[in-house]
Structure 1
């Protein structure tokens, strides 16, 4: 009996030891499955080590650029012509995104620009809020979302390809412009508002001012680009912000606005040098508004083509 008791005690000790090891392994695996992410507000959030299914309200293009698996996105993404193929298998979650539909997708990470729903969404999955204009360049965007999705290698590959294409497009443009030419980015709305944009407000600013390193008129440089703020212009001051080359997006969502025709018929418009020299470009809003890395990469060629082709026409 004494020998039997001793054997049983030994077995019990081994069992407890193995059990303890098993628990330790399980806990380690759990820790390896998540990591601490510090969001732009400086808050620590536990997110999956490598997110498998991601939902977003606005950042589909940014996440797709770094190879992340997006399963649902807000409606705005579906107006972007440059990611239509990738969006075929992604669910349109509306605007604002529908929390019940998010729940059905069972994401393991949610990334939003609009923080109003963050508390509710965080009950479904870890939710990271990336406010508008957090990333101010293609490089910063790829770094930010590559880290978030744990796909840094894919982000680096995209960046290398982008830089190569940007260099080639820039060389094409430099062959047909003068060193002192200025470039401005503007938007006319269906309400008749006329805006001038910086280098990171969509409409092609990343391409013209960053990738191509082109000059803005002094007032745009000082009052818009350096401040990082878009600026609404009254009609009488438009000539003060005019550039040698003017790119204007026409925001006409319903297709029934006549504000562009009214602008083109005005004396102020007719007096602009860019109009007289045929260096004004009217651009589609959906094509030139997006500013995710995929869109900017595609816009490189579009802007280069516009500038080169217009130079050939004006010869």
Structure 2
């Protein structure tokens, strides 16, 4: 992580107070309706937004947004992100879009946020919510508030005041999904099953549903490929033992490997096991090992990009298997 020069304590306190006073002066009553109200101090319009922590007055059109884990969601809806947590910069779908944004740490570093002078802060985790709220209007959106790409884009389109951009994003997503389904006609059997799995650096093996990252929304919701019936569960994830793995296997299997130190030992162990070697997907060359950073992502921009990635790999593997 890059270390950044801290703001001197006195300067930080003065800036904190001035920003807090400006935000308070610009916000209307927390009990007023959601219609815009003029801010006398900043010349901005504000509205009341209901959150898990109650109503918060936020800019109707925020111009400088800081977030922890909602960079992709905000960008998909047309938001201007100036600060985000560090792992977002490893997201291959967001790198170009975040070229002018700053790393604000994880958990968020309040001094860095002060430097960026945001007019809105959006957080998944509320560890330092009170401190951030003194810098700018802060809204807490807990993890899994939205259950799919439609709910997500609509929610964040509302937050950034860009509902029309949100609608356009969804229209583009639906077009991409339809194109992907068309490309796969005749490539995979419509009755074939497709499973998503992950191996951890501790040797744990998990299966994933349609809303836990790893490409689930692209595979199951966009491309409408069939999940093994036994893999469906309310928790979206399920840890498997090697003994029961064949019961949760699929005709096509997609594996990500969480291996932050790049040791590779757990994957070698898995691939050398008799249970793994005897899976139909392995024997039929329908097992795919997918890049963790690419398929872990579940923001709307990543989901849309993953549609083509899945379609491409299935088409290419089908060609291979026909030779």
TM range (shorter): 0.7 to 0.9
The corresponding residue for 2:286 is 279
Q: Measure, in 1, the Cα distance between the counterparts of 2:220 and 2:160.
A: 28
Alpha-carbon displacement from aligned partner over 1:74-112 (angstroms, at most 9, x marks no partner)? 112111011111111100111111111001111111001
The corresponding residue for 1:178 is 189
Deviation of 1:228 (Å): 3.5
Alpha-carbon displacement from aligned partner over 1:158-209 (angstroms, at most 9, x marks no partner)? 1111111110011112321112100110101111110100101110000111
Q: Measure, in 2, the Cα distance between the counterparts of 1:116 and 1:313.
A: 50
Q: Is residue 266 from structure 1 mapped to residue 266 from structure 2 by the alignment?
A: no
Deviation of 1:30 (Å): 2.5
Q: Is residue 30 from structure 1 mapped to residue 24 from structure 2 by the alignment?
A: no
Q: Which residue among 296, 317, 322 is the counterpart of 1:310?
A: 317
Give matches, 1:126-137, under 5 Å. Answer: 126-137=137-148
The corresponding residue for 1:93 is 104
Unaligned runs of 5+ in 1: 1-26
Q: Which residue among 177, 188, 191 is the counterpart of 1:166?
A: 177
Unaligned runs of 5+ in 2: 1-35
Pick closer, same or farther for the CA change 1:71–1:205 going to 2, 3 Å: same
Please, what TM-score do these two structures have when normalized by structure 1? 0.87
- Rg bigger for which structure? 1
Please, what TM-score do these two structures have when normalized by structure 2? 0.85
- Give the number of aligned pairs: 284
- The SS at the match of 1:161 is helix
Give matches, 1:5-44, under 5 Å. Answer: 29-30=38-39, 33-39=45-51, 41=52, 43-44=54-55
Alpha-carbon displacement from aligned partner over 1:231-286 (angstroms, at most 9, x marks no partner)? 11111111110000100001111111311111011000011111111110001100
Deviation of 1:215 (Å): 1.1
Q: Measure, in 2, the Cα distance between the counterparts of 1:213 and 1:28.
A: 44
Deviation of 1:229 (Å): 2.8
The corresponding residue for 1:156 is 167
- The SS at the match of 2:122 is strand
TM-align CA RMSD: 1.5
Alpha-carbon displacement from aligned partner over 1:105-132 (angstroms, at most 9, x marks no partner)? 1111100111111111111111111111
User: After the TM superposition, which segments of 4 or more aligned residues of structure 1 sit over 6 Å from their partners?
Assistant: none
Q: Measure, in 2, the Cα distance between the counterparts of 1:162 and 1:108.
A: 29
Q: Measure, in 1, the Cα distance between the counterparts of 2:82 and 2:73.
A: 14
Deviation of 1:42 (Å): 6.9
More helix by percentage: 1
- The SS at the match of 1:83 is coil
Q: Is residue 56 from structure 1 mapped to residue 45 from structure 2 by the alignment?
A: no
Pick closer, same or farther for the CA change 1:28–1:125 going to 2, 3 Å: closer
